[in-house]
Structure 1
Amino acid sequence: MNKVTNINLERIVDSLYHLCKPSLINLFRSSVLKAGLLKEIEEITDPNAIYPFIPLMFAKNRMVSKLANEKVHALLHQVPLHLLSKIDEKIRNSTFSKHYNQLSEYWYNLKPSIVDSYRGHSTEFVVILKSLCCHPNGYIRYKAIKTLAENSIEEAIPFLIIRANDWVEEIRILCFTTLNRLVSKELIDHFIESLPLLKQLEIKTRKEHLLDRLELIRKIESLLATQCSDALFKKINSQEIIIARYAFAILAKADSKIEQLLTVTLNNRDIVIKVNAFNLAHNQYDSDQFLIYLNKIKDDKLMPIRKKALYAFIERYPNQAKGILEQALFDRSRSIRHLSRYYLKQLGISEFSNYYRDAINRQDKPIKLAILGLSESGNKDDFRSIQPLISKNISQLNAAIINAAFKMQPKGWKSMITDLLSNPDQASLKSFANCLLEYQDSYTFEEILELVYKRNSLMHIRYFIRLLSNGYYDRWMVLNVILGELTLITDPNIKVLFEQYLHTWIHHNCPNKIFIRPCHENSNTCLDKASNLLKHNPTNSLYKELLENIKCFIN
C-alpha cells in the first residue's frame, strides 16, 4: 500500500464513517473535510484498499459518498483486468472486521431497487453499477449487470464475462445472451482489452452451459482474429504474459496470419510463445519454408529454441546437419555442446579437441566458448593451447580458464587459479565457486579461506557464504571462523550475511545429530567466542539462541 498503512486506512475510513453517522454533533460539524485527510486519501493507490470505500459510496452524506466514489473509480482503474475476477470474488465474499461492522450495513442492507437510482451514463453511476455487479445478493447483481450493459457497453463487457460464470443461472443466461448480441464486427474491438478474462472464462470448471460458453469464446476469437488482428499483434508484446500468450493462440488459428505471426515472434522474449511458434512452423510450413525458418532461429537467445532447431536439422535435413552440429560445438549452452558432440560421433567424428584448439589459435570463434569446449572434450595436455591466454587477464576469459583448469587439472593448475584469483572480478569468483561445488574434494576449507575470503569485500564474502552453505565442511571449524570474524568486521551489510548464515547453521545443528558433535577443544573455543559476542550484543536474540545451541552439544 503506497504510503498508507492498514492502521492509517482504518483511521481514514473511521473519520469518513463518523461524518455519516446521524447525531446532533454532526449537525454542527463543518461539512468540509480537512486538507490533511483529503491528501491522505489521494495518496492511497493500492487496489487492496478499495473494500472499505465501497460501502461509503452508499452513505447518505453526499460529500462522503462522492469522495468514496472517486476513490473506488481511481483504484478500480489500477486493477489489471486479469486480476479483476479476484477483486470481484473478494468484494462478494468480504467479511468486514469488527471495526467496520456498522459501516458494512451500507453495503449488505442494500435492496435490488437501489439499482434503479443509477440509470445514466455518468462516471459516478458507472462506478456504482460496477461495484453492484460484485454484490453478494444475486438479485442486485442481475439488475446491476443488466443496467450497466444498457448504460455503457465498453464498461460492461469485463463484468459480463466475469458474471457469465456466475452460480446463479439467470445471471449466466443474461450474460450469455448479452454477449452473443454484442459479438459483431461493429463492437468486437471492445473485447480486445478483456483477453485475460476470456481466457479465464474458457478454463472455468462450471459444467453448466459448457458448450455454449466454449462456442461463444470461439466466436469472439474468430472475429478478433479477422477484425482486430493489428491490435492482437501488439498484444503479443504485452508485459502481461497471459495476454501475450492468448493473443498468439488466437492469431495462430487464422491461417492467413501465420506468416506474419512467425515473423513477429522471432524476437519475442517469452519461451512459451517461442516454442508454440516453432511447433506452428513445423506443422504449417513445407520443407523449404521450414528450412528458412530454422536458419533464422538456430542462433536464438533462448537455449530451448536453439536445441529444438538443432534436433529439427538432424531429423529433417541430414545433409545440412553436419555443418550445423559443428557450429553448435561453440554454443554458449553446455547441454547443446554435449548434444552436438554426441550426434557428430554418430557421423564418425570422435576427436573434438582439434576444433577447439584451431578456434583458439585462429580466434575466429568466441574464445571463451572454445576454452569451455576444450575443457569438456580435451585432456591435461590440451591445456597448453589455453595457457598463453592467462597473461591477457581478460575477465570473461579468466572465468573460462578457471573452469578449464578445474576440469583438465594440468600440472600446477592450483597455482594458476591462485594467480587468477589474486585480484578477481565477479565472473572469476562465480566460476571458481561453481567449479568448487562440482569438485568439492579439490580444495580444503583452509585453502578456500585463503583464496576466497576477504574481510572487507562484500563480493568475496557473498561467494564465501555460498560455498559454506552448499559445501561439505567441518561445521564447527566453519563456526569458529565466522564467530571470530563477527568480532572484527564493521560493515553492517557483511554482518547481516554472516548472521543469516548463523541462523541457518543453528537450524541445521540439532542436538540429536550425534555425528556432528564437536571435539572438546572446538566446542570450548566456539562457546567462548559466542559468549563474547553476546556480551557485546546483550539484546541480540540470534546470539542467545546460538549460545544455547552450542551448550546443548557440549552437555
Structure 2
Amino acid sequence: MIGAHDTPGAVPPAVTEAFAAAVGGNHDDLQRLLAALSVVDAGGDVGAARATLRLLAGQPRLLTRLDEHVRRSPWRAPYRSSEVDRAAAALTRPTVGPVAVAVAASHPDGRVRERAVRVLLSRSVPELTPFLVLRTADWARPVRDAARAGLALLLADEPATHLPAAVPATALVSVRSRGGFAVQQVTAALQAAPARLRAEVARSAPAAQRRALFELDLAHGRLRVDDLLAAVVDRDVRVRARAAEAAAREAVWTGRLPVLHRLSGNRHAEVRALGLTGLLRLGRHAEVAAFLDDRHQLVRAIAREAARREGVDAAAAYRTAVSAGIPGVGAVAGLAEVGTDRDAALLHPLLAHPDPRLRTAAVRALARLGAVPVPLVVPLLRDPAAGVVREAATALRPISGALPPELPWALLADERVALRRAGYRLLGTRPPALRLRAGLLLVEDPDPRLAERARADLTGLARATTRTYHWGAPPPELELTAPLRDELLRLAAAAAPALAARTVARLTDWLHRS
C-alpha cells in the first residue's frame, strides 16, 4: 500500500531511494528496486505506478540492467524471486497494474513474456513503450514478433504518444543482434513525424538519437540557415560541427558574410574554425588573420594561413604581442607553435606574471620549444595556482634527474594535493625502487584520484615482477640498500589493506628476491 507520506500519482520515497541505489549498484540493489516496484504495484495507485515507470524509463541503462536481472531470475526455490512470480500471476487479472506488466515482460519464461506483451498492447500506455521496445529484440520469436507488430502499429497510429518514449530505449537496443527492427521503425517514424514532434523528441533524446534526428532533417532539406545557426549551440559536439559545416557551406555558396561572422564568433572552437574557413574561401584574409591569438590551436592554424596569404609574418606578430607584457594566452601558445628556442627569452618574464593563466601558458610554451629554464620553473612547483604547478611538473619531468633528489619527496609530503601530484609526476621517471616507494606512500592518500593512480601503478609494478612467458621481458631490477629494502617491506605491509592480496604478495616476494 502507499505510505502515509506518499502522494497519489507521485513516486513513493522508497522507490526513489531504491532507484538511486540501483543506478550504479549491484545484484542486491536491483533486487531491492524490484521489491520496491512490487510494493507500488500492490498499492493500486495507477498514477504512482505510471510515475514510477517514467522515472525508470528516464534511465535506459538501468532499464536494460533490470530487464536482464529479471530474465535471469532463478526458477527454483529458495532463490526464485517472489516479486517476479507475483507479476506473472497478475497478468490473469483484468485490473493488472502497469508495473506488474512491465516486470512480467522480462520474465524468464518466454510464454509469460509473450502474454505480458499482449496485455501491454491492449493498454497502450506510453510508460510501457520502452519495455515493448526491449521485447522487439527478444530471443524468443513469438515474443519478438508480437512486440514488433505492436511497436509498428503504435508508432504508425499514435506517434505523438509513443515515439518520445520509444527513442531512448531504442538507442540501447540498437547494439543487440536483433535490435535493428526497432531502430528502423523509430527512424521511419521520426522521418514522417511533424517538425514539432521531432523537436520534442530531440530535447529528451540521447546524443546518438539526436544526431540521427539532425542528419535526417539535414538530408531531407528541412533545415534553413537560421535553424542551422540555432543548432551550433547544441550540447552535442557532433551536432554543432555538422550544423556549422552546413551553415558555412551555404553561406559560402550564397556569399552571406553575416552568417560566417556569426559562426566565427561562436564560443566553440569547432564552430569558429568552420566559420573562419568559410571567410578564408571568400578571400577575407585580414578578418581571419585577426584570430592569430585565438585560444584554440586549430583556429590559430587557420588564421596563420590567412596571414600568410595577406603577407603578414605570424611569428613576428606573436613576438610583438608577447613582448607587449600582457599578451593573450593564444599568442603565447602561437609563439611556441611557430617560434624557435631563441624566442624563449621573451617568455621568461611571463613566468612571474600575476595572471596564473599566462604563467601556465608560458611554462607550456617553453616546454614545447625545448627551452625550459630550470632555475625559473622549479619555484613554480609551489605556485598558488594548481594549473601552474601541474604544467611546471610536466615541463620538468623529462629532466627530473637533474633536479635536487629531495625535491620530489618534499612535494610528496606537502599538504596541498597539487604539490603531491607534482612530486609523484616527477618521480615517475625514477628507478623502480623509488617509484615503488612513492606509490606505497600515496596508496592511501586523502585525494581519491591520487590514491587510485598509486594503486594502479603498484599493480603494474607487481605484474611486471612475474614473467608470464619465457620470451617476455625480465622483471625490472631493484637497486636496493638494506635499509631501503626494510623500509619498502614495512610500507608494503602498511599498504596491504588498500591493495589486492596478490599485489602485496608479488611486491613482497620481489623485495625479498632483491
TM over 0.5: yes
Closer, same or farther: CA 343–163 of 1 in aligned 2, 3 Å: same
Closer, same or farther: CA 509–343 of 1 in aligned 2, 3 Å: farther
Bigger-Rg structure (1/2)? 1
Residue 461 of structure 1, CA deviation:
1.2
Name the structure 2 match of 1:241: 207
Closer, same or farther: CA 423–507 of 1 in aligned 2, 3 Å: same
Which deviations, in whole Å up to 9, do the C-alpha atoms of 1:114-153 show, x marking residues without a partner?
63423x4xxx522222233333444443443333333344
Give the 5 Å matches for 1:244-255. 244-252=210-218, 255=221
More displaced stretch, 254-263 vs 64-73? 64-73
Name the structure 1 match of 2:116: 144
Give the 5 Å matches for 1:190-201. 190-199=162-171
Secondary structure of 2:290's counterpart equals helix
2: CA distance, partners of 1:126 / 1:216 = 24
Residue 291 of structure 1, CA deviation:
4.8
> Contact 1:199/1:246 (CA < 8 Å) preserved in 2?
no
Name the structure 1 match of 2:284: 320
In the alignment, structure 2 segments of 5+ residues that lack a partner are 6-11, 468-472
1:465 to 2:424 alignment: yes
Residue 277 of structure 1, CA deviation:
1.8
Name the structure 1 match of 2:292: 329
In the alignment, structure 1 segments of 5+ residues that lack a partner are 1-30
Closer, same or farther: CA 355–159 of 1 in aligned 2, 3 Å: same
Secondary structure of 2:465's counterpart equals coil
The CA RMSD over aligned residues, in Å, is 4.8
1:228 to 2:197 alignment: yes
Residue 200 of structure 1, CA deviation:
5.2
- Partner amino acid for 2:211? R
Give the 5 Å matches for 1:208-219. 216-219=185-188
1: CA distance, partners of 2:453 / 2:178 = 52
2: CA distance, partners of 1:536 / 1:186 = 64
Provide the TM-score with structure 1 as the length reference: 0.69
2: CA distance, partners of 1:273 / 1:322 = 29
1:126 to 2:89 alignment: no
Residue 355 of structure 1, CA deviation:
0.6
> Contact 1:322/1:344 (CA < 8 Å) preserved in 2?
yes
Secondary structure of 1:222's counterpart equals helix
1: CA distance, partners of 2:247 / 2:454 = 53
> Contact 2:84/2:107 (CA < 8 Å) preserved in 1?
no
2: CA distance, partners of 1:539 / 1:90 = 32
Residue 528 of structure 1, CA deviation:
3.2
Give the 5 Å matches for 1:167-206. 167=139, 171-172=143-144, 174-183=146-155, 188-199=160-171, 205-206=177-178
Closer, same or farther: CA 432–126 of 1 in aligned 2, 3 Å: same
Name the structure 1 match of 2:488: 530
> Contact 2:336/2:368 (CA < 8 Å) preserved in 1?
yes
1: CA distance, partners of 2:93 / 2:307 = 77
> Contact 2:232/2:244 (CA < 8 Å) preserved in 1?
no
2: CA distance, partners of 1:99 / 1:432 = 61
Return the match for 1:66 from 38, 42, 52.
42
Closer, same or farther: CA 137–550 of 1 in aligned 2, 3 Å: closer
Closer, same or farther: CA 96–334 of 1 in aligned 2, 3 Å: farther
- Partner amino acid for 1:78? L
Name the structure 2 match of 1:9: none
More displaced stretch, 141-150 vs 161-170? 161-170
Give the 5 Å matches for 1:35-114. 43-45=17-19, 46-47=21-22, 49=29, 51=31, 66=42, 76-81=53-58, 82-83=60-61, 84-95=63-74, 99-101=78-80, 103=82, 106=85
Give the 5 Å matches for 1:482-497. 496=451
Which deviations, in whole Å up to 9, do the C-alpha atoms of 1:141-186 show, x marking residues without a partner?
3443333333344344334433344455555554455445444686
1: CA distance, partners of 2:199 / 2:453 = 54
2: CA distance, partners of 1:57 / 1:392 = 60
1:402 to 2:366 alignment: no
> Contact 2:381/2:419 (CA < 8 Å) preserved in 1?
no
1: CA distance, partners of 2:383 / 2:393 = 15
Which deviations, in whole Å up to 9, do the C-alpha atoms of 1:48-92 show, x marking residues without a partner?
64557869999xxxx997269999877644323533355334433
Name the structure 2 match of 1:425: 385
Aligned residues: 486
Residue 462 of structure 1, CA deviation:
0.9
- Partner amino acid for 1:197? A
> Contact 1:130/1:159 (CA < 8 Å) preserved in 2?
yes
Return the match for 2:314 from 333, 352, 369.
352
Name the structure 2 match of 1:264: 230
2: CA distance, partners of 1:491 / 1:169 = 54
